[in-house]
Amino acid sequence: MLHKQTIDLVKSTAPILKERGEALTRHFYKRMFLHNPEVIPLFNSAHQRSGTQQKALADAICAYAANIDNLEVLGGAVELIAQKHSSLQIKPEHYPIVGENLLSSIREVLGEMASDEVIRAWSEAYGFLAKILIEREGQIYKEHVAQDGGWSGFKTFYVTKKEVESRVITSFYLSPEDRSRLPLFKPGQYITVRVETPNGSTTMRNYSLSDTPNRDWFRISVKREAPQHPQSTGGYVSNYLHDSVTVGSRLEVGPPCGEFFIDLAKNEIKPLVLLAAGVGITPILSILLSALNALPGHPITLIHANVNEETHAFKTLIDGLACRHPHLKVHYCYSEPIADSSLRDSSVSTGFINSRLMESIIEERDAEYYFCGPKPFMLGLYADLLAWDIPSAQLHFEFFGPRQELEAAQTLAV
């Protein structure tokens, strides 16, 4: 356990970190990449350029400082971090590198406020958290190897099929080069793809698995990330996959990871409501397909939002599922539809997924909600569901951003 003096000193720095957290984490990453360039491939360069990685770390540090005397509330965050670290092959030897650069950055950015006592307290606090994460990640690595078809680290797969799903999304079917069986992942989880970069290094990206678990292949469905502004180049890995990877290409793949999944072994599962926007359909589709197989006749509602019909992936597949499963209710909405709305039926609407739309479609609010999509979609939806008094235990989501932003939505809902 942490010493009381350590807890008091760390908590006393929480207001300072809240004010200067992003300046601290920007300095930290710059310093670490300068002094320890060997860790650069472990980080997403696009997130570094956009500042989302710096903000995520700043929020995590602030949350840890504020709750260091009540770490139980951070249990979900610890599991998320451990799963993410495991997907990127973070090992115990990486923690001293992060710790040394973080403590040095605290001293260099906070100056006189970072007294020797504060630095000692943060050193103990960091070591305590690192121990928790190292132990959990060690368990995950052992689980990867122990399961039938599992493996350690990265394994070579080849692309057996490449299928266009929409104007912006393409699916890639991946099978092990050694023709071994695959582990049965949990519906909703992701794998990590590692590719070479033009400078001879490597970079990694997580992609949700968009099919049911099976022994022969993994399927990922990747959105081509366009440039956000004229000076940017777009997503390096997504464009590489779309433009350069063909049937027969080799890719390095890590074992399935992630704390977002549906547990179909539960004795009782409430009605399911699946909500997706854009490429957020990928883990939701895996959950849908798996639930239809495991829970025949179980009530399921799916609402999928897209910009328009051309960006809409998997519509033909999902329409076919709805025809074969009368207990599956499907609705689509487009923010900028191409087709004449007067020619559509009631299963398609114009606009966004919001409380008003959900009220008109969802028959039973007391349900298990699984949702994934862009940040604005997630923030609005999370606030709407909390306003409906849906218990947080019934809200399951994959959020690609700092979790603290969802907590802000919770505050607004209350």
280 annotated as a binding-site residue:
yes
The β-bridge partners of 172 are 162, 220
283 annotated as a binding-site residue:
yes
85 annotated as a binding-site residue:
yes
Both structure tokens of 192: 């990590």
More confident call, 387 vs 228: 387
Q: Residue written as tokens 């399961």?
A: 147
Identify which of 401, 363, 208 has the alpha carbon closest to the alpha carbon of residue 382: 401
End-to-end CA distance of the chain: 34
205 annotated as a binding-site residue:
yes
206 annotated as a binding-site residue:
yes
What pLDDT sits at residue 345? 82
155-253 adopts what CATH topology? Elongation Factor Tu (Ef-tu); domain 3 (2.40.30)
Catalytic residue among 29, 64, 95, 382: 95
Task: State the DSSP string of 64-89.
Answer: HHHTTT-GGGGHHHHHHHHHHHHHTT
Both structure tokens of 136: 């959990």
176 annotated as a binding-site residue:
no
281 annotated as a binding-site residue:
yes
pLDDT of 408 strictly over 80: no
Torsion angle, alpha carbons of 342, 344, 346, 350, to 10: -80
Segment 4-25 shows an average pLDDT of: 90
More confident call, 55 vs 263: 263
* Mean pLDDT score of the chain: 91
pLDDT tier at 233 (50, 70, 90 boundaries)? low
Catalytic residue among 64, 137, 165, 259: 137
pTM of the model: 0.92
What pLDDT sits at residue 44? 84
230 annotated as a binding-site residue:
no
d(CA 274, CA 324): 18
Q: Is 95 a catalytic residue?
A: yes
334 annotated as a binding-site residue:
no
Q: Is 407 a catalytic residue?
A: no
CB 21 within 8 A of CB 61: yes
Percentage of residues of the chain with pLDDT beyond 90: 76
282 annotated as a binding-site residue:
yes
Given this structure, which CATH class describes domain 272-413? alpha beta
For residues 265-299, b (16+ Cβ closer than 10 Å) or e, as one string? Answer: eeeebebbbbbbbbbbbbbbbbbbbbbbeeeeebe
pLDDT in tens, 166-214: 999 999 999 999 999 999 999 999 999 999 999 899 999 999 999 999 9
Q: Where are the domains of the chain?
A: 4-146, 155-253, 272-413
4-146 adopts what CATH topology? Globin-like (1.10.490)
pLDDT of 318 strictly over 60: yes
